Amino acid sequence: MSRLPTLKLPVWQLRAFTPRRLPRGHLKLGTLPTNSSRFLHSTSILRHSEQAASVSVQLPLKGLRVLDLTRILAGPYCTMLLGDLGADVIKVEHPRVGDDTRAWGPPFVCPHEASSHGRTHSQPGTGQGESAYFLGVNRNKRSIGVDLKTTQGQQVVRDLAKHCDVLVENYLPGKLASMGLGYDQLKANNPRLIYASITGYGLTGPYAKRPGYDVMIEAE
């Protein structure tokens, strides 16, 4: 029996580091169209330590820009994986409260708000809370606060979409289109845009307009 050849795989070389503190992730407000250009050229990430691990190989999705219009779990988990693979993920959140899961806890991680007993807590409803749930599916992302109910906020998303390769959303079917942010509307300014929709019951059919979580579908 002949011996199989040995494959030489790339080695990930990590620099040992100890984070000194976990900085709070403030939302950057994108209330005016002009802010989107400035945000695109910023380099800050939603969460980072003062020392970062370095790798000796280029991540496969480096250079790909993803606009993340998702919340809760399925969508954020999808875009988190893209960020893990090197994509530049821009997460759009509510400008005042952020993603719903920022306040889903305990446990919370808010080092600047330690109680007298040494415990940390969040500020539910302020957009500054850092729940373990939120941090668990939103690493490797930049975050910008945009009010999609306003004309200015919708224009910010259009401006961002012009410079993105992929858009991921998990709104009810037709919701973003009613704001002028559907695929047909955005592809007019960016024909190469890949528009991915995550739904509970699909884009068509009798249940398409229903909101849904996996446990609800499992129960049915």
Walk me through the domains of the chain, giving residue ranges and CATH numbers. 28-45+59-200+213-219 (3.40.50.10540)
Within 10 angstroms of residue 92's Cβ, the number of other Cβ atoms is 24
pLDDT per position as a tens digit, 41-70: 776 554 443 344 455 678 999 999 999 999
Peptide bond into 60 cis (omega under 30): no
How does the average pLDDT of the chain come out, rounded?
79
The pLDDT, as a whole number, for residue 34 is 52
Strands annotated E in 54-165 = 65-69, 88-93, 141-145
Which position has the higher pLDDT, 69 or 13?
69
Q: Is the pTM of this model over 0.85?
A: no
First to last CA, the chain: 54
Mean predicted confidence (pLDDT) in 5-31? 48
Peptide bond into 76 cis (omega under 30): no
- 3-class SS at 63? coil
Report how far residue 140's alpha carbon sits from residue 169's, in angstroms, rounded to the nearest whole number: 18
For residue 33, name the pLDDT band (cuts at 50, 70, 90): low
pLDDT per position as a tens digit, 152-206: 999 999 999 999 999 999 999 999 999 999 999 999 999 999 999 999 888 999 9
Which position has the higher pLDDT, 40 or 125?
40
The pLDDT, as a whole number, for residue 23 is 39
Tokens 């403030």 correspond to 26
Please check the confidence at residue 2 and state whether its pLDDT lies above 80.
Answer: no
The answer for residues whose C-beta is within 8 angstroms of residue 129's C-beta and 6 or more apart is 98, 102, 103, 105, 108, 110, 122, 123
pLDDT per position as a tens digit, 67-118: 999 999 999 999 999 999 999 999 999 998 899 999 888 888 865 543 434 4
